[in-house]
Structure 1
Amino acid sequence: MSHFQGSCLCHSVRYELVGELQKFFLCHCQRCRKETGSAHAANLFIKPTTFDWRSGADLVKTYHHPDSRYVKSFCQNCGSAVPSVIDHTMIVLPAGSLDSDLPLTPDANIFTDSQANWSKHSGSLPSFAQLPE
């Protein structure tokens, strides 16, 4: 059983979760790229044993994309992604919302047919510890 704590960027929304980790995916679909404004979303899929909004539950807004299973929850103050509770049977946990290190790596890249052409070869780019000059 895994135990997670996390929050949004402004720390108004905080959560705690204990559950069985199902999968950790980097999703390259167009919806996830639009949601993050980036190359992909990084989401953990967890069957919850316990889930609790520690603070800010009233600030959580959830968007359901019409005619799809896509859902995204976010803090209304800062816009940060926070966990989405789906029918009390599954939690979609944005990995970036965790406040502690995650002791695992992603299981797979998914929806790579939708991957942005500019991100396909990013593994060969130089890396910097901070913003380069």
Structure 2
Amino acid sequence: MTPINGSCLCGAVRFEIIGRPRSLSYCHCSRCRKQAGVFAAVLMVRREDFRLLSGADEIRRYTPEPPWKHVRAFCGRCGSPLGEPSDEHELFPIAASSLDDDPGVRPVLHMNVESKPAWYEITDGVKQIAGTYGG
């Protein structure tokens, strides 16, 4: 498989995904919206398939106060969301907005759609799960 390349806006953080991603989904929870916009598009990847090529020293992490639990990673230089790359988890989300290449998978799910803005309509026919979780 050809690697899937990704980077932040300023190019300081660069990575590649060498295996097929597990899935691509949209999260509409309030926390994802605050970081990414109307929703966050997240690509689930295996730790063994993710290679950080440069910029480890530029990655910052926001660890929320309980009850929230999802750590958010971003470039400390330009602020681009990166998802949650981790050495601790076998599977983790990468922000699809950081991809430079087509991941070869298409969205399978809209999560937490009860939290989406009233002015945004989902019309793509992709499966929806209600929920309001704000991880």
TM-score normalised by the shorter chain: which range applies?
A: 0.7 to 0.9
- When you count strand as a share of all residues, which structure comes out higher? 1
Q: Counterpart in 1 of 2:55? A: 56
Aligned counterpart, 2:119: 118
Larger Rg: 1
Q: How far, CA to CA, are the matches of 1:83 and 1:3 in structure 2? A: 18
- Contact kept, 8 Å, 2:42 with 2:83, in 1: the verdict is no
1:75-102 C-alpha deviation (Å, 9 max, x unpaired): 0110001242241412311111111123
TM-score normalised by the chain length of structure 2: 0.79
Aligned to 1:106: 107
Give the aligned partner of residue 29 of structure 1.
29
Deviates more, 1:112-121 or 1:56-65: 112-121
Please give the alpha-carbon distance, in whole angstroms, between the structure 2 residues aligned to 1:19 and 1:91: 13
The number of residues matched between the two structures is 122
The SS at the match of 1:73 is strand
Runs (5+) with no aligned partner, structure 2: 125-135
Distance 2:2 2:26 in 1: 20
Runs ≥4 in structure 1, deviation > 3 angstroms?
Answer: none
The answer to whether the 8 A contact 1:46-1:92 is kept is yes
Note the 1:1-133 alignment, pairs <5 A: 3-36=3-36, 38-67=37-66, 68-86=68-86, 87-120=88-121
- In angstroms, what is the RMSD of aligned CA positions? 2.1
- For 1:131, the equivalent position in structure 2 comes to none
Q: For residue 127 of structure 1, what is the aligned residue in structure 2?
A: none
TM-score (norm 1): 0.80
Q: Give the direction of change, closer, same or farther, for the CA distance of 1:121–1:96 in structure 2 (3 Å limit).
A: closer
Taking only the aligned residue pairs, the percentage that are identical comes to: 34
Distance 1:5 1:48, change over 3 A: same
1:62: how far off? Answer: 1.0
Structure 1, 12-21 or 26-35: larger mean CA deviation: 12-21
Q: Is the 8 A contact 1:20 1:49 kept in 2?
A: no
User: Is there any run of 5+ residues in structure 1 with no aligned partner, and where?
Assistant: 124-133
